[in-house]
Structure 1
Amino acid sequence: MELPVFLIVLMAALLHASWNAFVKMNDDRVLFMAVMMAGSGLAAFIATTFLPLPTVESWPYIATSVALHIGYPLFLLMAYKFGDLSHVYPLARGSAPLIVALVSVLYIGDVLSSQAMVAVMIMAFGIMSLSLTRGAQDLWNPKAVFFALGTGLFIAAYTLTDGIGARLAGSAHSYTAWMMGLEGIPFIVYILITRRARALPQIARVWKVAVLMGLMSLVAYWSVIWAMTVAPIALVAAVRETSIIFALLFGVFFLKEKLSLMKLASTFMTLFGVVLLKMNRS
């Protein structure tokens, strides 16, 4: 992976952690996420007017990605219902790069060196080991683990779908604009249907920050999809998941959360994988 691409994906990881921190701090996460998605979707639709249409071959991938992006938060919310954030989120985000790496190498034809594969595995296990920071008791909760790993499957599925679709679309920018534009519609429709008359005053309270975070989300994932057209999908997916390290640092420095020895060890393990990945020459 070229250095400029590597740095762009790291920037996307930082942006991803940033908007996730705002979602986590909001009392009404479902509403906040819906307004976020609507804001990013509107911006993406505006961008489509300046871009060529994606190729016909890429439209099934766009439709599949939209469906997967709807299933992902549903599984994530169910995982949070049965397990703590500190256990669920690392399992979901850490398992995804391993799945992406295996599928992209075995079925898509991406080529990874042994060093790159080892680096991806180290990063994934470093991220997943954060699940142990409060003890392993929740890891034996079958429902929490099922939905957390299910969330990881959704992440891997939409990552692979978008990586392939963007390569077929003729333009990663056109693919992203249409995919993210369509993605926002179901969320805002859900809020308007379920909350009816309460929706507009509730939206009015959060829309400024939510739309800003939506634009941040748009830039972050737009960068990732572009990167997957110029670098192996597995490597982009692995570097992107360093967002959990940024999230951990936000928690320590801004939310005054404690940094345990286990968290520190997991962080260094993940960062070692990042360094090993960047040193890879093939």
Structure 2
Amino acid sequence: MPLDVIVLVLFGALLHATWNAIVKAGTDKSLDAALISAGGAAVALPFLAALPLPLPAAWPFIGASAILQFAYFQLVAAAYRAGDIGLVYPLMRGVAPMIVAATSALILGETLSAGSLAGIMTICAGIMTLAFEARKGGRRAIVLALSNAVVIAAYTFVDGVGARRSGNAISYTLWMSLLPPVLLFTWAISRRGAVAVLAHVKLNWWRGILGGGGSIASYGIALWAMTKAPVATVAALRETSILFALAISVLVLKERSSIWRYLAGAIIAAGVLVLKLA
């Protein structure tokens, strides 16, 4: 895998960890997730006029991705309410690339080298090691996390193919970001009422702009990388976001660490090295 692709995907992983930390620190995870999605759309809008439209072949993928992204944000919020992030996040982010790696040959016809497969499995093992440090969370949290891993794998395939057929991965990313917040806020208003939703938006709009900008940039980088390297390899490398999430949890949120976190970090770093050498 080229070094420039690795560096950019790792930067995208940092952005991904940052917006997840914003959601986790919020008081209302469902509405904060919707705000992150809306913030991404707001950041995308000014750039649309300067970019070409995605090619017609990409539009069905944009529609399918919007529905999957809606499900993803809903499950993120539900999983964080049900269980400890030390259990939920590793399962969501660790199982998804394993699903992609296991099925990419069948779905995309991409054959991974032995070195790439070893790197992917090493990264996934490191991420899932973090589940051993979880302090709370039961069957519901595990079911939600594993369900979201399937959703993540599904939109990874959809967007990986869609970006390649769009003619411009950045344009695809920006157009893809517009519909999910409409679905999320429509759902939130139907459940809670417009007054409650607007009150939360008024107080927390900055979370949406900061987190949304990081979210859209992170995913745009990943989709661009998928046009340069196998989807399964990029998907696994992107999940190194957990390393940055660990650093944020210790240095910013002042959470207690454990030996499992440091062991996981070492395993993930080894997996990244394997991918570079593959």
Q: TM-score, length-normalised on structure 2?
A: 0.93
2:235 corresponding residue in structure 1: 237
Corresponding residue to 2:274 among 273, 276, 281: 276
- The answer as to 2:127 corresponding to 1:146 is no
In structure 2, what is the equivalent of residue 88 of structure 1? 88
Q: Which residue of 1 aligns with 2:19?
A: 19
Q: Structure 1 CA distance, aligned partners of 2:31 and 2:140?
A: 25
- Counterpart of 1:250? 248
1:184 aligned to 2:185? no
Query: In structure 1, how many angstroms separate the alpha carbons of the residues matched to 2:139 and 2:208?
Result: 33
Using the alignment, how far apart are the partners of 1:183 and 1:87 within structure 2?
Answer: 26
Q: Is the 8 A contact 2:85 2:134 kept in 1?
A: no
Q: How does 1:101-180 map to 2 (within 5 A)?
A: 101-134=101-134, 141-180=138-177
Aligned residue pair count? 277
Segments of 5+ residues of structure 2 without an aligned counterpart are: none
Cα RMSD of the aligned pairs, angstroms, is: 1.7
Q: 1:155 to 1:56 in 2, by over 3 A?
A: same
| Higher alpha-carbon deviation: 33-42 or 232-241 | 33-42
| C-alpha distance in structure 2 between counterparts of 1:48 and 1:23, whole Å | 26
Cα contact 1:43–1:181 (8 A) shared by 2: no
Distance in structure 2 (CA, Å) of the matches to 1:257 and 1:60: 43
Which residue in the other structure is 1:198 paired with? 196
Shift of 1:54: 1.4
Give the SS at the match of 2:178.
helix
Tell me which residue corresponds to 1:266: 264
Deviates more, 1:266-275 or 1:38-47: 38-47
For 1:67, the equivalent position in structure 2 comes to 67
TM-score (norm 1): 0.92
Identity %: 40
The answer to whether the Cα contact below 8 Å between 2:132 and 2:260 also exists between their aligned partners in 1 is yes
Q: Name the SS of the counterpart of 2:222 in structure 1.
A: helix
Q: Contact conserved, 2:9 with 2:237, CA < 8 A, in 1? A: yes
Contact kept, 8 Å, 1:110 with 1:232, in 2: the verdict is: yes
Residues 237-266 of structure 1: CA distance to partner in whole angstroms, max 9, x if unpaired?
111100011101111111222221122111
Deviation string, structure 1 residues 171-197 (Cα, Å, up to 9, x no partner)? 112211110122222123334443322
1:81 Cα deviation after fit: 4.3
Displacement of 1:227 in angstroms is 0.9
| Partner Cα distance (1:115, 1:125) in 2 | 15
Cα deviation per residue 1:68-111 (whole Å; 9 max; x = unaligned)? 11111223333334432211111111001111112222321223
Structure 1: 5+ residue runs without aligned partners?
A: none
Alpha-carbon displacement from aligned partner over 1:105-130 (angstroms, at most 9, x marks no partner): 23212232101101100110110110
Q: Which residue of 2 aligns with 1:217?
A: 215
CA shift in 2, pair 1:207/1:229, >3 Å: same
**1:35–1:210 contact (8 Å) kept in structure 2:** yes
Letter in 2 for 1:116: S
